[in-house]
C-alpha cells in the first residue's frame, strides 16, 4: 500500500514538473529552474519553523517567495550589466541554498529534515504523512498538494497560452505589441517555484531539474507544436516515473534517483529514434 | 511649411529630435534628428555597429534613450502602437521553436487581441491572406525549423502584414535571402507604399541600397545624411560615414 502511494506521488510529481518544464526548455531557462529548486530551501525551512507542519500550504507560499527572491536578485545583478545572466544565477542561488543548509544543521538535526533528503528527496516520508480530518484518513497530503499544483500549472498554461508562446518565441515583438514580458516572466517563475516546492519531497532540490527539463527536452526532439510538446512531455514523465519507481525498488535505491535515471534513458532512446527518423509528432 | 497648414496626413511617419542612446556609457546613437515622411520606403544604412538596429528599437521603445523625443504619426508610441508593425532580425528568434508558419503569422494578430483573448475565424482569415500575399501558401503548415532563410523572412513579413499597420519597421529584411524572396519583398514594399504606408528598413549592404529604397538615411552613431536616394547616395557621404570600414575598391563603380 505504501509503495503504491510512493509510486503515485512520484507520478504526480513528474507530471507537475513536465508542464512548466516545456516552457523552461523553450525559454532556455534550465539553469534557472535548478537555481529555483535550490533557492526554495531557506523558504521551506523558515516557513516550517513558523508553522511546524511539513505539509502545510504555508510552506509552499514561503518557499515560492524565496524562489522569487532568487529570480529578483538575479535580475537585479544581471541588469547592472557587470556580470552575465548565468553568472548572476550562480552568484545568488548557492547563497540562498547555503542559508537553508545552515538553518537545517542548526535548528533541526533532530527533526526529519536531513541534508540527504534535501538533496534527493524522501518520497517515503511524504507517503506516510496522511491527511486526517475528524479521524477519517484521506490518504497522503502530498496527493492534494501535487494535484492542486498540476491543476494550477495546467490553468496557467491554458490561460496564458498565446502570451507564453509569443514572449518565448519573439520577446521583442511581444513588447512591441504591448504585452508585459517581465510580468509574465515573474508569473511563470512563481509557477516554477510552487512546482519546485511541491516536488521537494519526491525529488529534493538536485534531481528536480531532471523532472523539469528531461521529459520536455525529450519531447522537443520531435514535436512540431507546443501543445504536442507538452502532451509528450507529460507522457514521458509518466513512463519515467513508473519505470523509475520499479528500478529503484529493484536496486533498493532512492526513488528520485530511479526516476531521474529513467528520464535519461527515455531521452537517449528517443534521441536514437529521432536520429533514425523513426518518429515524428 | 506653415505649421497651421499641416493636416494629419502630412505628419511625418517618424519624427526624432535630439535622440541619444548609450550602452554602458558608450554612445551608440548621438544627437539624432530625423524626419521620415509618410508613404516612403526608407533605408537606414551604415557600417556594423553604426546603431541602425538601436535606432529602430528606440522608435519601438525597446531601448531606453538617455535623451531625445520620438513621435510616430505625430503621437507617442504607446498611443499608436497598433499602427506599427515590427520585423526583427531573423537571427533574433529561435527557429527551433515548435510552431508552423501559420502559428507564427497568427502572432501578428495578438497585438489587436490583447491579453487573454483567443484568435478566432477573423484572425485566421487574416493570417491566410498574409501568407498568400508573400507566396507561402504551400508552406503554411510547415514547421518553421524546416524553412530556408528566405522562407523565414517571408513568414516574418506575413506576420507584419497581418498587423495591418501604417508604419513598418524592419531590421535587415534583405539579409541572407533568395532571389524569389527579394522580389516578393520588393513587390510588397511597393504595394504598401501605394497604399500610403511607410516602410523603414535597416540595410547594411551598400550595393543594393539604391535598388530597394527611395529614401536613405546614412547613419554611423550620428546621422551623415538623410533624404532622397539621388541626393544621399554619394561617394563623399558614404565614405565619410563608413570611414575605414568601407572597401572602396569593390564598390567604387556603383557610386558616382
Q: Flag whether pLDDT at B253 surpasses 60.
A: no
ipTM at complex level: 0.86
The closest CB to that of B116, out of A159, A177, A178, belongs to: A159
Instruction: Give the B window 184-223 contacts with A, CB below 8 Å.
Output: none
Kindly determine whether residue B104 and residue A169, on different chains, have CB atoms separated by under 8 Å: yes
Q: Which residue has the cell 498568400?
A: B132
Q: What is the CA radius of gyration of chain B?
A: 18
Least CB-CB distance to B97: which of A169, A173, A175?
Answer: A169
Residues 6+ apart with CB under 8 A from A87: A78
Residues 209 to 228 of A: which have CB under 8 A from any B CB? 220, 223-226, 228
Q: Up-side HSE of residue A257: CA atoms within 13 Å toward CB?
A: 13
Torsion angle defined by CA atoms of residues A100, A106, A107 and A110, in that order, rounded to the nearest 10 degrees: 110
Q: Between A2-26 and A226-251, two packed helices, what is the crossing angle to 10 degrees?
A: 140
- CATH number belonging to domain A2-110+133-280: 1.10.3470.10
Report pLDDT for B244. Answer: 58
Sign of CA pseudo-dihedral B80, B81, B83, B88: positive
pTM given for the model = 0.88
Q: Is the pLDDT of residue A108 over 70?
A: no
> Over chain B, what is the mean pLDDT?
87
Residue A70, C-beta contacts closer than 8 angstroms, at least 6 positions apart:
A35, A36, A39, A92, A93, A96
Name the residue ranges covered by the structural domains of chain A: 2-110+133-280
B147 shares contact with chain A (CB less than 8 Å):
no
Identify the pLDDT of residue B2. 42
Residue B205 has pLDDT above 60, yes or no: yes
Backbone angles phi, psi at A263, to 5 degrees: -55, -45
Sequence-distant (≥ 6) Cβ neighbours of residue A272 within 8 angstroms: none
Phi-psi region of B2 (alpha: psi -120 to 50; beta: other; left: phi over 0): beta
What is the band of B1 on the pLDDT scale with cuts at 50, 70, 90?
A: very low
Flag whether residue A159 sits within 8 Å of chain B, measured between CB atoms: yes
- For residue B256, the surrounding DSSP H or E stretch is none
- Please classify residue B53 by burial: count the beta carbons closer than 10 Å to its beta carbon, then call 0-12 exposed, 13-18 middle and 19+ buried: buried
Residues of A in contact with B92 (CB under 8 A): 170, 172
Amino acid at each position: 500500500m505504501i509503495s503504491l502511494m510512493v509510486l503515485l506521488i512520484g507520478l504526480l510529481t513528474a507530471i507537475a514538473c513536465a508542464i512548466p518544464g516545456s516552457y523552461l526548455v523553450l525559454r532556455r531557462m534550465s539553469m534557472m529552474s535548478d537555481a529555483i529548486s535550490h533557492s526554495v530551501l531557506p523558504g521551506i525551512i523558515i516557513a516550517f519553523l513558523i508553522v511546524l507542519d511539513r505539509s502545510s500550504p504555508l510552506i509552499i507560499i514561503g518557499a515560492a517567495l524565496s524562489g522569487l527572491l532568487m529570480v529578483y536578485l538575479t535580475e537585479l545583478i544581471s541588469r547592472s550589466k557587470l556580470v552575465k545572466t548565468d553568472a548572476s544565477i550562480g552568484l545568488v542561488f548557492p547563497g540562498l541554498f547555503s542559508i537553508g543548509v545552515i538553518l537545517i544543521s542548526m535548528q533541526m538535526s533532530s527533526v526529519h529534515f536531513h541534508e540527504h533528503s534535501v538533496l534527493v528527496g524522501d518520497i517515503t516520508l511524504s507517503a506516510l504523512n496522511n491527511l486526517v480530518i475528524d479521524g477519517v484518513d484521506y490518504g497522503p497530503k502530498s496527493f492534494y498538494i501535487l494535484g492542486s499544483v498540476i491543476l494550477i500549472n495546467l490553468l496557467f498554461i491554458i490561460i496564458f497560452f498565446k502570451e507564453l508562446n509569443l514572449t518565448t518565441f519573439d520577446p521583442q515583438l511581444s513588447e512591441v505589441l504591448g504585452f508585459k514580458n517581465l510580468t509574465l516572466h515573474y508569473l511563470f517563475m512563481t509557477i516554477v517555484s510552487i512546482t519546485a516546492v511541491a516536488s521537494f519531497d519526491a525529488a529534493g532540490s538536485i534531481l528536480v531539474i531532471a523532472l523539469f527539463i528531461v521529459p520536455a527536452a525529450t519531447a522537443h526532439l520531435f514535436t512540431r507544436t507546443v501543445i504536442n510538446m507538452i502532451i509528450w512531455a507529460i507522457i514521458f514523465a509518466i513512463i519515467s516515473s513508473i519505470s523509475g519507481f520499479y528500478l529503484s525498488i529493484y536496486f533498493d535505491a532512492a526513488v528520485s534517483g530511479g526516476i531521474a535515471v529513467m528520464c535519461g534513458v527515455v531521452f537517449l532512446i528517443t534521441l536514437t529514434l529521432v536520429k533514425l527518423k523513426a518518429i515524428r509528432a | 511649411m506653415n505649421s497651421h497648414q499641416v493636416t494629419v496626413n502630412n505628419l511625418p511617419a517618424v519624427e526624432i529630435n535630439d535622440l541619444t542612446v548609450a550602452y554602458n556609457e558608450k554612445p551608440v546613437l548621438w544627437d539624432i534628428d530625423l524626419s521620415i515622411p509618410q508613404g516612403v520606403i526608407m533605408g537606414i544604412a551604415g557600417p556594423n555597429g553604426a546603431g541602425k538596429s538601436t535606432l529602430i528599437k528606440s522608435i519601438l521603445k525597446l531601448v531606453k534613450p538617455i535623451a531625445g523625443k520620438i513621435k510616430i504619426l505625430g503621437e507617442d508610441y504607446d498611443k499608436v502602437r497598433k499602427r506599427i508593425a515590427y520585423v526583427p532580425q531573423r537571427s533574433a528568434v529561435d527557429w527551433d521553436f515548435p510552431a508552423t508558419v501559420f502559428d507564427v503569422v497568427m502572432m501578428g494578430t495578438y497585438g489587436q487581441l490583447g491579453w487573454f483573448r483567443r484568435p478566432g475565424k477573423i484572425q485566421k482569415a487574416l493570417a491566410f491572406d498574409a501568407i498568400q500575399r508573400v507566396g507561402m501558401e504551400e508552406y503554411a503548415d510547415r514547421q518553421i525549423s524546416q524553412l530556408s532563410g528566405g522562407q523565414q523572412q517571408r513568414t516574418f513579413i506575413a506576420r507584419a502584414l497581418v498587423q495591418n499597420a501604417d508604419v513598418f519597421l524592419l531590421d535587415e529584411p534583405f539579409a541572407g535571402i533568395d532571389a524569389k524572396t527579394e522580389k516578393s519583398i520588393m513587390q510588397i514594399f511597393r504595394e504598401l507604399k501605394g497604399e500610403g504606408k511607410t516602410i523603414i528598413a535597416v540595410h547594411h549592404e551598400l550595393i543594393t541600397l539604391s535598388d530597394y529604397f527611395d529614401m536613405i538615411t546614412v547613419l554611423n552613431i550620428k546621422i551623415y545624411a538623410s533624404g532622397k536616394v539621388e541626393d544621399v547616395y554619394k561617394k563623399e557621404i558614404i565614405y565619410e560615414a563608413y570611414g575605414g570600414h568601407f572597401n572602396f575598391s569593390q564598390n567604387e563603380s556603383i557610386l558616382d
